[in-house]
């Protein structure tokens, strides 16, 4: 039986994002820029990572507190060895309705079938350009689009749900808005434009680099007829618009220009077992050591309840104030997007 909990703003806990590794095979400018995450960067040692059994244990407790959706993230989650085994463990949790994965897609062609068989339902694939040269520059590894497109094809072949995430940065890939929209519409895949966010402290974020939802929408409107759709559930992140000549839709993640803190239902579990109650708040709560020091399931349950019930995060709604800019932040690569 579930115990439904809410925070100080009466926001329920419905979604859990679990980072399974802090490592990534890309060095995207907006997440893990090469100048900050170079060859000498020290990643977490294996013993610092949660084991699959520890992740399953915590996920089971979270589901008992109202979580219905889990998304696996990183870093790049497909770098975690035997990931389908974790998906299989999670898919057996009673009351969990959905398991998704956010990935850059490079390794997806090899793993899509195993992930689907294990119980994965959907993938969110990051693809910021269809131009090989530009895409290679953005990902910092000079990797072209082919392995990502192969991953998309493999996911389609095994009937995984697919969404494409495109982070738009002014003067970098805003010229790719229409080509990406046309590609995804043709392929029958929902594209989600993501505003460049001030996550962490290493991506050099400036408001001048943000292409807002309104600006992207105006560009799309010159080529497509769009109709706004109503949210399908409380806490839906993307603002969706349907193409009037098809059943396909396009979404916008507007955490900069149109904050959605008031309906945020997401907790984040880092690869090292820290719980974060906001993507922009670096004050984590250490569940790993609490668990490894002998905490019972009931003690873990009450600890999570205490953390969530005290939650007041509204960073995106308060972004312009001095106090929020002084908050400690955690890097997106450490807790996922």
CATH code of the domain containing 21:
3.20.20.70
Distance from chain centroid for Cα 219: 25
Residue 197 marked in a binding site: yes
Closest CA to 126 of 78, 67, 159, 83: 78
Instruction: Judge whether 198 lies within some domain.
Output: no
In this model, does residue 81 exceed pLDDT 70? yes
Find the mean pLDDT for residues 84-98. 98
* Calpha distance 303→58 (Å, rounded): 11
Q: Tell me whether strands 161-168 and 190-195 are parallel, antiparallel or unpaired.
A: parallel
In this model, does residue 60 exceed pLDDT 70? yes
For the chain, give percent helix, strand, coil, nearest 5.
35, 20, 45
Torsion of CA 9, 14, 20, 25, to 10 degrees: -80
Find the mean pLDDT for residues 238-248. 96
- List, for residues 278-318, the tens digit of each pLDDT value: 988 888 999 999 999 999 999 999 999 999 999 999 888 77
**Residue 323: which pLDDT band, with cuts at 50, 70 and 90?**
very low
Instruction: Judge whether 75 lies within some domain.
Output: yes
> Sign (positive/negative) of CA torsion 230, 233, 236, 238?
negative
Instruction: Judge whether 214 lies within some domain.
Output: no
Residue 163 marked in a binding site: yes
Residue 278 marked in a binding site: yes
Residue 184 marked in a binding site: no
Asked whether the beta carbons of 5 and 308 are under 8 A apart, the reply is yes
Instruction: Judge whether 302 lies within some domain.
Output: yes
* Number of structural domains found in the chain: 1
Instruction: Judge whether 246 lies within some domain.
Output: no
Asked whether the beta carbons of 64 and 95 are under 8 A apart, the reply is yes
Helix (H, G, I), strand (E, B) or coil at 200: coil
Instruction: Judge whether 258 lies within some domain.
Output: no
Residue 239 marked in a binding site: no
Residue 222 marked in a binding site: no
pTM of the model: 0.93
Residue 136 marked in a binding site: no
Instruction: Judge whether 177 lies within some domain.
Output: no
Residue 186 marked in a binding site: no
In this model, does residue 202 exceed pLDDT 90? no
Residue 46 marked in a binding site: no
**In this predicted structure, what is the pLDDT of residue 245?**
97
Domain boundaries, position 309: 15-164+264-335
**In this predicted structure, what is the pLDDT of residue 324?**
45
Residue 24 marked in a binding site: yes
**In this predicted structure, what is the pLDDT of residue 229?**
96
Residue 141 marked in a binding site: no
């Amino acid at each position: 039986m579930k115990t439904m909990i809410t925070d100080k703003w009466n926001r329920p806990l419905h979604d859990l994002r679990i980072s399974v590794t802090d490592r990534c095979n890309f060095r995207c400018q907006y997440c893990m820029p090469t100048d900050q995450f170079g060859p000498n960067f020290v990643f977490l040692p294996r013993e610092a990572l949660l084991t699959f059994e520890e992740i399953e244990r915590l996920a089971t407790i979270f589901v008992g507190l109202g979580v219905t959706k889990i998304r696996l993230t990183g870093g790049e989650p497909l770098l975690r060895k035997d990931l389908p085994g974790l998906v299989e463990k999670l898919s057996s949790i009673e009351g969990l309705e959905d398991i998704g994965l956010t990935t850059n897609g490079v390794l997806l062609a090899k793993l899509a079938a195993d992930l689907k068989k294990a119980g994965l339902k959907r993938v969110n694939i990051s693809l910021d350009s269809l131009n090989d040269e530009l895409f290679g520059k953005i990902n910092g590894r000079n990797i072209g689009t082919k392995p990502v497109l192969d991953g998309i094809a493999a996911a389609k072949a095994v009937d995984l749900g697919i969404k494409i995430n495109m982070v738009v940065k002014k003067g970098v890939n805003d010229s790719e808005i229409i080509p990406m929209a046309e590609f995804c519409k043709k392929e029958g895949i929902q594209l989600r434009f993501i505003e460049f966010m001030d996550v962490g402290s290493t991506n050099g974020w400036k408001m001048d680099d943000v292409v807002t939802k309104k600006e992207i929408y105006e560009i799309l409107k010159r080529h497509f007829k769009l109709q706004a759709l109503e949210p399908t559930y409380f806490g839906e992140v993307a603002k969706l618009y349907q193409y009037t000549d098809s059943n396909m839709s396009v979404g916008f993640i507007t955490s900069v220009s149109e904050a959605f803190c008031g309906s945020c239902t997401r907790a984040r579990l880092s690869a090292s077992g820290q719980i974060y109650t906001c993507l922009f708040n670096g004050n984590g709560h250490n569940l790993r050591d609490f668990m490894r020091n002998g905490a019972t399931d009931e003690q873990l349950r009450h600890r999570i309840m205490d953390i969530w019930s005290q939650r007041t995060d509204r960073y995106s709604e308060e972004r312009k104030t001095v106090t929020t800019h002084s908050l400690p932040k955690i890097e997106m690569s450490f807790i996922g997007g």
